[in-house]
Amino acid sequence: MLSNSKDDLSQLLREKGYKITEQRKAVLEIVMEHDGEHLSSQEIYELVKKKYPDVGVATVYRTLPVLEELGYVYTVDLGDGCARYELQREGQQHRHHHLICECCGEITEVKDDLLDEIEKKIYDNYGFTIKDHRVKFYGICSKCGKC
Amino acid sequence: MLSNSKDDLSQLLREKGYKITEQRKAVLEIVMEHDGEHLSSQEIYELVKKKYPDVGVATVYRTLPVLEELGYVYTVDLGDGCARYELQREGQQHRHHHLICECCGEITEVKDDLLDEIEKKIYDNYGFTIKDHRVKFYGICSKCGKC
DNA sequence: ATTCATGCAAATCGTTTGCAACCCA
DNA sequence: TGGGTTGCAAACGATTTGCATGAAT
């Protein structure tokens, strides 16, 4: 079970044979400060830079996959041609789904998984064992639906 | 109801105020020759180039969104950092789902939609009206499962 | 004749890489 | 000490853009 606390970073890094550096702490710090957002690597770099001006782009780009490996973040693909990251919530084994409003662009997270039955059907029909999924729904959110 | 036949291209282009050109016909021709594949813009360009050497990259890149608008293709995002296109099948109102094998990389299409119930639940819980979806399942296909 | 489409090359954008200097273990 | 890590700048790959030419209506 992984914890999202920043204090565990050192330990997790050590376990994987990575070195503990200020830069890695900085990137995690920034990402944790933006829970619920879907920042691109570029945006994360800019935020890191603002707080810690000496950190280079390459470091941020190299750190994000490490944080992903350690279970702190995972990538979200919003189809805009850049890698985006989202904080991995504690106790969440699967990625959650995203509702993307075509009107205002708001991204809502779906807390429920809801796919168990479908995944079973797919196993029955295709012999495909599902380990993870990425699900995006496009439509109109409740706010925009009223207008 | 749209038809996937290449003969309708001229008409659809005309309806939208686009001009009918050999290049647009060529791109559609190539895409139709590769039904079932998920070619990147780059790959489509190379295939077009092979058959019609005078067509430029920019034209292919400009044509694909037009074909998408006309309903001939839609984009698939396989997370490899490039735009991929797939032929839109006749009579298919929603995008189908993809099963991506983490072992051999094979991409299988799921013919059934299976999401109606979930979409209803999401409407009930979030007030979000779903118009389309992108669903990818990652796991192990039947062939790889046996090894 | 007008407007839109094309090909080319240059520009852009996000990301990766090579490398010398640097710092953690 | 010694190998992973960093910052910088250059390299990269996919895609887009400006522009003068060319083709379609």
Per-residue model confidence as pLDDT tens for chain A (147 residues): 445 566 799 999 999 999 999 999 999 999 999 999 999 999 999 999 999 999 999 999 999 999 999 999 999 989 888 999 999 987 676 788 999 999 998 999 998 888 999 999 999 999 999 999 999 999 999 999 887
Burial (Cβ within 10 Å: 0-12, 13-18, ≥19) of residue A58: exposed
Q: B interface mutation test: which of A132, A134, A144 has the most B CBs within 10 A?
A: A134
| B144, part of any domain | no
Let me know whether A27 and A75 are in one domain.
yes
Instruction: Supply the CATH number for residue A123's domain.
Output: 3.30.1490.190
> Which of A118, A119, A125 to mutate against chain B (most B CBs within 10 Å)?
A118
Q: pLDDT tens-digit profile of B37-77?
A: 999 999 999 999 999 999 999 999 999 999 999 999 999 98
Task: Encode pLDDT of A93-102 as tens digits.
Answer: 678 899 999 9
Residues of B with CB under 8 A from a CB of A: 75, 77, 79, 81, 83, 99, 101-102, 108, 110, 112, 114-115, 117-119, 121-122, 125-142, 145
CA distance A97 to chain B (A): 9
Closest among B65, B60, B58 to B44, alpha carbons compared? B60
Q: Which residue has the tokens 């390459």?
A: A58
Q: Which of B79, B134, B145 sits opposite A129 (nearest CB)?
A: B145
Nearest-by-CA chain A residue for B135: A135
- Asked if residue B82 and residue B39 are part of one domain, the reply reads yes
What number is the average pLDDT over the span B11-22? 97
Protein CB footprint (7 Å) on chain D nucleotides: 4-9, 13-18, 23-25
Q: Is residue A147 part of a domain?
A: no
Our count of domains for chain B comes to 2
Mark whether A107 and A78 lie in a shared domain.
Answer: no
Same domain, B18 and B74: yes
pLDDT at A90: 75
Q: Please report whether residue A82 resides in a domain.
A: yes
Looking at the structure, tell me whether residues A102 and A82 fall in a common domain.
no
**Contact A28/A72 with Cβ under 8 angstroms?**
yes
Q: Is residue A144 part of a domain?
A: no
A24 occurs within a structural domain: yes
Q: Does residue B109 approach strand D to less than 7 Å at its CB?
A: no
User: Do residues B13 and B67 both lie within one domain?
Assistant: yes
Single pTM value for the model: 0.89
Examine the domain organization and report whether B79 and B126 are in the same domain: no
Last residue of a domain, one of A65, A87, A109: A87
Of B127, B138, B140, the CB nearest to A145: B127
In a domain, A62, yes or no: yes
Q: Assess whether B25 and B77 both reside in one domain.
A: yes
In a domain, B78, yes or no: yes
Give pLDDT, residue A6: 66
Same domain? A10 vs A74? yes
Q: How far apart are CA B38 and CA B88, in angstroms?
A: 11
Say yes or no: B80 and B106 in one domain. Answer: no
Q: Residue B92 domain-assigned?
A: no
- What count of CB pairs under 8 Å joins A to B? 109
Q: Name the packing angle between helices A22-33 and A41-51 (round to 10°).
A: 110
Say if residue A14 is in the same domain as residue A50. Answer: yes
Structural domain harbouring B65: 6-87
- The reply to whether A20 has its C-beta less than 7 Å from any atom of strand C is yes
Same domain? A71 vs A113: no
Boundary-marking domain end, from A69, A87, A105: A87
Check: CB of residue B41 under 8 Å from CB of residue B49. no
**Sign of the C-alpha dihedral computed for residues B83, B91, A103 and B11 taken in this order:** positive
Mean pLDDT of B78-92: 88
